[in-house]
Amino acid sequence: MKHFTRLWVILAAISVTGIGCGKKSKEQMEIPKIDLKDFFKNPEKSGYSISPDGSKLAYMAPVKMRMNVFVENLATGESKQLTSETDRDIAGFLWKGDNHILYMKDVGGDENFALYGKSLDSGTVQAYTAIPNVKTQLIDKLREDPIHVIIGLNERNPQIFDAYRLNIETGERKLIAENPGNISAWMTDHEGRLRIASVTDGVNTSILYRENEDSSWQTVIETNFKESFSPQFFDFFDSSVVYGVSNIGRDKAALVKVDMAAGNELEVLHTNDTYDISGAAFSRKRKKLTSVFWTGEKVQRSSFDPMIDEIYKNVEAQLPDVEVYLTSHDEDETIYLVRTMSDKTRGSYYTYTVADKSLKKIADVSPWLNEDYMAEMKPITYKSRDGLTIHGYLTLPKGVEPKNLPVVVNPHGGPWARDVWGFNPEVQFLANRGYAVLQMNFRGSTSYGREFWEASFKQWGQAMQNDISDGVRYLVSEGIADQNRIAIYGASYGGYATLAGVTYTPDLYACAVDYVGVSNLFTFMETIPPYWVQYKEMLYEMVGHPEEDKDMLDRYSPSLHADQIKTPLFVAQGAKDPRVKQSESDQMVEALKQRGVDVQYMLKENEGHGFRNEENRFEFYEAMEKFLSKHLGK
């Protein structure tokens, strides 16, 4: 769904006037307790995207607690509601031409996303791929074709996706490439022709290429999964050349140009000594590479384009105190959408007009949020016990001396992902309640190169967990943390790390919150979604093989060692979670209840991998707040 406008779960906080007789500085002001719902309710407006002709904006807004799509006329300011979903939020949307919106939604969090469309002219809603237990991928929205898109469906075989050309007017779809059983991704050129396919057997990967859709596929790049070439887009003037991100033969991924016909790397365009390059952007109108991106302490950008440099320069001069991102533009590149953000606010949306360099605010994402009451998210580093540098973020409650504080340790999910700097409603909520929050990019976290990533292989519950424990001990040694008031909370892999923390270091934490977390490494790998099956051999190498590494997987499956847990635990789970099945939580809760350990269980029948419905978020965080207060103190 990378082509869809990202659905930001924008959360807010009430602006409350501080109490006091005299005028106080921001550092000295009294910080009010902000209503929990204001952190976790839906935004007023978010996810803006501009139409190709630059005349309209589409955005998300809540209707009866569900996020729906609206369209605003830029000239008149008039808005109208386009979708009317009541069961679940729209998961994402995009413009198809100037008068058609495509959007996706699933059922109860099962992640079998179906594609829908609505015409602004007729108002007709079409359900293109609402097929039970079938997932839709968008491969190419075909900007130059007014009525077709290319999609992937796993209807024929739930483990793989075939490519279809879909007519958005009639709903007719035509198979254009049948997946032989090992293709994990398809890619088109600028004319919408399927020219590249990624193939995997679970460990070894190959890039297939063809000169045109009538040519046969040729294998041009072969690696194992530890090395990768991720094609970004085709060159505009030589259709055999592709820009891509590659770590082949290097530790840090670089932006490169590759001759696909020969499979040869032609040129290294950008590298970073510390971080992986993550992606690149281009101008379709001007037919050129414009920017390259990577994530260090913050998201960073380097430009290949004077026009983009000039836009950023002008916008940043007018908005000096926030991070600025260009999110979309019209097809003529005359109007850009600008998004601002910081660690203390969800920021705002603006339009920027290139001709007169004017900036116009569209909306504040969290207009009621007083950022003076929000806490600073500080980048930190510490050393692991075996000498690795671990990067992370420490958020301290505002207005409180940073000594002997209660702490919530918050390991991220993935685990092959990372925490980033920016507004995080969970972190700000916890800081507002007086807790310091520690987030760390333990070994295996992405963007730090291959060596750091590979250091996590077969280390669930072991060196990866030590990196988390070492962060706790770092805060204690610095005098920041009260060693008797430390909690651990995480989701997905972070939930596994939470369970591992209270299993293998039972004296380190006063309480724990596991949110859709893995508890048994055997059952987790047996119940992965069908479209992950082709990656099973890779999972065996990265996590462990159920037979060859049986003793290790047994030892580091928390639910199999529940007798070691004495820490009070709160578990939350979505019944329709396709990634971490309900059984992962059920078996842990049952094992603890049999031993009389204090365990609280929240199961939501209409949720999947994390709670998306607003009322369920409220209930979860209300319960979490009471749980932490009971075991850490207010």
Return the closest-CA partner of residue 242 out of 224, 223, 220.
Answer: 220
What band does 634 get if pLDDT is binned at 50, 70 and 90? low
pLDDT tens per residue, range 491-517: 999 999 999 999 999 999 999 999 999
Packed helices 614-632 and 425-432: angle between N→C axes, nearest 10 degrees: 40
Return the closest-CA partner of residue 446 out of 414, 468, 491.
Answer: 414
At residue 557, does pLDDT exceed 50?
yes
- pLDDT for 2: 35
- pLDDT for 28: 53
What band does 130 get if pLDDT is binned at 50, 70 and 90? very high
What band does 129 get if pLDDT is binned at 50, 70 and 90? very high
At residue 11, does pLDDT exceed 60?
no
Q: What percent of the chain has pLDDT over 70?
A: 95
Average pLDDT over residues 474-495: 97
Average pLDDT over residues 102-111: 94
Cβ partners under 8 Å of residue 378, min gap 6:
393, 394, 395, 396
- Distance (Å) of CA 560 to CA 202, 350, 516: 28, 52, 17
* Residue 294 identity (one-letter amino acid): W
Domain boundaries, the chain: 378-632
At residue 178, does pLDDT exceed 50?
yes
Chain centre distance of CA 284: 26
Cβ partners under 8 Å of residue 287, min gap 6:
236, 237
Enzyme catalytic residues: 492, 577, 609
Partner residues linked to 395 by β-bridges: 377, 437
CA dihedral 450, 187, 311, 267 (to 10 degrees): 50
At residue 20, does pLDDT exceed 80?
no
Return the closest-CA partner of residue 128 out of 120, 556, 464, 138.
Answer: 138
At residue 435, does pLDDT exceed 70?
yes
Question: Can you give the pTM of this predicted structure?
Answer: 0.91
Judged on CB neighbours under 10 Å (0-12, 13-18, 19+), 237 is exposed
pLDDT tens per residue, range 112-127: 999 999 999 888 899 9
- Indicate the average pLDDT of the chain: 92
* Residue 99 identity (one-letter amino acid): N
Tokens at 49, concatenated: 């995207």
pLDDT tens per residue, range 542-556: 999 999 999 999 999
Q: Round to whole Å and give the CA distance between 408 and 391.
A: 17
- pLDDT for 633: 85
At residue 10, does pLDDT exceed 60?
no
Cα Rg, the chain, nearest whole Å: 25
Average pLDDT over residues 56-66: 95
- pLDDT for 458: 98
Average pLDDT over residues 25-33: 70
Q: Does domain 378-632 have CATH number 3.40.50.300?
A: no
